Amino acid sequence: MIGIAAPNIGSEEFDAVRKVLESGQLAQGPQVAQLEADFAAYCDSKFAIAVNSGTAALHASLVAAGVGPGDEVITTPYSFMATLNCILMVGATPVLADIDLATYNIDITKVAAAITPKTKAVIPVDLYGQPYNYDELRAVCEPKGIKIIEDACQAVGATYKGKKAGTLGDLGCLSLYATKNIMAGEGGIVITDNEDYARILKEFRQHGMSAQYEYVRLGYNYRMSDLHAAIAIQQLKKIEAFNQGRQKNAELLTEGLKDVKGLVLPVVAPDRTCAYNLYTMRATPEFALERDDFIAKLREKGIGAGAYYPKPLYAFQHTAKFGRAENFPHAETAATQVVSLPVHPLVSPKDIQTIIATIQELA
């Protein structure tokens, strides 16, 4: 099977983990501090705070931005559930705005229309690895004091006008989950230039502790271990090579599939680069096969295709009150038509040719 994702692990990661095990210092320590310094340098940001998942990064960011009960947070109905769950975790109300079908990111006109006096923050998602249009979003949010929390969990290393994903809002959240562009198994990073936010984030990940056994707020155990940090330090050194591999594979897929009837291939909007955590296209009704059948046939032939995501975020019991299908036609279309193909750097040129030939045959 040509898998949809695979961790890319070299001897450097093995050696780094062994060294930490030998050191006897396994919990948050010098490796985490090193990783934070490396991420801040890589993103050209003042602070990078490590936590133990992208979800924890989002939760902590909302707390740092002062979002709580009674506040509204505008976000997309088309993402991984963590994007919406983090809003519920702080007791705020999610307000969903439909997506733009060209980029699968939130539609800026729908964001503007959804703003009320209660709107405290917007969470745009750099879906599949493509940064959102942050100049447009800032123009809408800044005059009203609305904070931007960038969900860049799929976009580590992508850029918008030369700036790194994660630095494009007031706070940016990255994930180091096993299927992301660089990984630690599990892990997350919050990027910010704001010193107050950085302090709150550090307190929040450690039971609200400001100094040894002094607790200034509610917090959690969201600390990253030095074992995970040691892996991520090595992965971060390879990020440009990894992402170039993804971009090269995406180019080859687009070149090979551009004439297939009924497929809408991914496009990268101006002023940005895409990290291609996923290569996602749409199989429209003009395509030879219905979407689920298409994915099943690809999988039968050893190609790990998948639907990311098969349902919008309001289609579940705990979220149903936040949206109804008729108000989100683009999210509905995406959910029924998307197909993601393997694009990660361990997918070889020969694999890419197999994928293209298989799809041409099915078409």
Ligand X SMILES: *Cc1c(COP(=O)(O)O)cnc(C)c1O
Residues that bind ligand X (CB under 6 A): 53-55, 79-80, 82-83, 125, 151, 153-154, 175, 177, 188
Which residue's Cβ lies closest to ligand X?
Answer: 54
CB of 58 to ligand X, least distance (A): 6
Residue whose CB is less far from ligand X, 53 or 358: 53
CB of 11 to ligand X, least distance (A): 25
Could you tell me the two tokens for 10?
């070299």
Residue whose CB is less far from ligand X, 252 or 315: 315
Nearest-angstrom CA–CA distance, 53 and 59: 10
Catalytic residue check, 161: no
Nearest-angstrom CA–CA distance, 123 and 80: 12
Catalytic, out of 110, 164, 180, 202: 180
Q: Which residues contact 51 (CB under 8 A, 6 or more apart)?
A: 57, 60, 187, 188, 189, 190, 201, 205, 222, 223, 224
Residue whose CB is less far from ligand X, 151 or 170: 151
Is the preceding peptide bond at 309 cis, omega within 30 degrees of 0?
A: yes
CB of 17 to ligand X, least distance (A): 19
Q: In whole angstroms, how far apart are CA 130 and each of 98, 156, 281, 308?
A: 17, 10, 14, 15
With 0-12 CB in 10 A as exposed, 13-18 as middle and 19+ as buried, what is 267? exposed
CB of 179 to ligand X, least distance (A): 8
Residue whose CB is less far from ligand X, 139 or 178: 178
CB of 81 to ligand X, least distance (A): 8
**Helix, strand, coil percent values for the chain (each to nearest 5):** 40, 20, 40
DSSP 3-state of 120: strand
Residue whose CB is less far from ligand X, 26 or 81: 81
Nearest-angstrom CA–CA distance, 248 and 244: 6
User: What residues are annotated to the active site?
Assistant: 180
